Amino acid sequence: MREWAANTDNYTSAVNGAKFPRIQLRTIEQLLAGVAIERPSGNVTVDVTFKNAPKAKSKAHPELGL
């Protein structure tokens, strides 16, 4: 499993071009010791991780008087 994770592509940050492993394995011991995942800094003001959903268009409901 470690070899498989090591052979996956990297994520490249759109903000500063830094590369991070897409799949990162942690043991329970590492998690309890506070070993964090490698990811872009939370101090970045631009978050391009998720796209914003489009605004929903309201539909008229004549039976409700709207």
User: For 29-59, what is each residue's pLDDT tens digit?
Assistant: 999 999 988 887 766 555 566 777 888 777 7
Backbone angles phi, psi at 21, to 5 degrees: -60, 135
pTM of the model: 0.50
Query: What residues pair up with 21 in beta bridges, in sequence order?
Result: 10
Residue 51 lies in a domain: no
- Domain ranges, residue 5: 1-39
Say if CB 41 and CB 20 are below 8 A apart.
no
Residue 26 lies in a domain: yes
| Tally of domains in the chain | 1
Residue 66 lies in a domain: no
Backbone angles phi, psi at 24, to 5 degrees: -125, 125
Question: If DSSP codes are grouped into helix, strand and coil, which group holds residue 21?
Answer: strand
pLDDT tens sequence across 15-28: 788 888 888 999 99
Please state, in angstroms and rounded to a whole number, the distance separating the CA atoms of residues 33 and 29.
Answer: 6
